[in-house]
Structure 1
């Protein structure tokens, strides 16, 4: 099990420091977030911030929770992701999703996709273009909403064959989960309830993904299907023992990441996030000595 922390609140300087402290205290990943206009929040461009984080840290995985590719130009994302991948020495991961329409970058401007179907089609187009762009070869593509002709992106990513992609998926939706199974991980959400997924849910999800990827390997033998991450977000219960027990049960069910995601502005101040970072992630297994 690996552990990540989302830098939800704070200035640019506070966020950079938070990432450095998270790295120093044993966290495996640090994530910013991708928003345009989400209420009265200080909001930073994720790619600019990730560039700063890439050169301010040495080991920790970096990404954003999550990139709504439906409102981003995929050819620009290709260039941005290549740049951060190289700046970080191959530590970028790309969590992606449809995007939330309560962001003014969707709902309060003209011309953006707002229905779930439109956003899903644009997401699939973007992922197809990114995969081709990261190959370093000249490519063309005609999708639902994007057509490109004879593009080439160099250099190739540090990570081969591509920057890892983690789509958000609704469990147990076969269509949504089917998209994630084609890539490198999944950020699962419950389709049937607003509650967190249980260890039994994760166990069933892992079994489903394993079967689906076995089928994909037979159907598309040329497709790269490497290790697959199951990334669970939430807020750990208070208390060292309770937190360790919580993530241990998820790890036993097949989850590979816990990402601490704190979104309560009345509680999760920059100072509180710094305290969480310095506390470090839960320790699994028997106590030393």
Structure 2
């Protein structure tokens, strides 16, 4: 059995300090909340990665339906390289009562599920580090011609 420590709320310094202490105490993972508005989860995890060597790092849940999948792909691959393959991406729809409506985010579960599915397709496509096209109901990506980062350290 493995154990993960959850930091429900805190700034980057707090995240780095708690992650360091969790690793010293023998915990296996360190997870943060990804709110609609507030401390940016991937920045907190970056701070934690800089202070730790072996802890797995991730969000409690990333509601892909409210993300730009290409930005999330970049954040996760960057952190995966920085941490030498310690990223865990936990995904889901997210709870609408955590601020979706207040920020004009999609609240319809079916639409959010479609966005999640398409987002996962885009993430895995971009993580390959190769030119990529995508045509979905909600997202369209013409062949990516840019300096893509290499694929993640670990394979999705």
What TM-score range do you get, normalising by the shorter chain?
Answer: over 0.9
Partner of 1:33: 33
CA distance in 1 between counterparts of 2:45 and 2:65 reads 20
The aligned counterpart of 1:108 is: 102
CA distance in 1, matches of 2:12, 2:46: 12
Aligned-residue CA RMSD (Å): 1.3
Counterpart position of 2:65: 70
Query: Match of 1:54?
Result: 49
TM-score by length of 2: 0.93
CA separation in 1, counterparts of 2:28 and 2:130? 32
- Secondary structure in 1 aligned to 2:97? coil
What residue ranges of structure 2 are gaps of 5+ in the alignment? none
Distance in 2, Cα, partners of 1:116 & 1:123? 10
Counterpart position of 1:145 = 138
1:120-162: per-residue Cα shift (whole Å, max 9, x none)?
00000100000111111111111121111112632111112x2
SS in 1 for 2:141: strand
Give the SS at the match of 1:139: coil
TM-score of the two chains, using structure 1 as the length reference: 0.51
Alpha-carbon distance, 1:101 to partner: 1.0
State the alpha-carbon separation in 1 of the partners of residues 77 and 154 from structure 2: 10
Question: Contact conserved, 2:13 with 2:47, CA < 8 A, in 1?
Answer: no
1:66-145 alignment runs, 5 A limit: 66-104=61-99, 106-110=100-104, 112-145=105-138
Distance 1:129 1:12 in 2: 28
Q: Which runs of 5+ in 1 are unaligned?
A: 38-42, 163-289
Match of 1:63, SS state, is: strand
Q: CA deviation at 1:55?
A: 1.1
Alpha-carbon offset, residue 2 of structure 1:
1.0
Instruction: Report the equivalent of 1:195.
Output: none
Measured in 2, the distance between the counterparts of 1:94 and 1:14 equals: 21
The aligned length equals 154
Taking the aligned partners of 2:144 and 2:76, their CA distance within structure 1 comes to 16
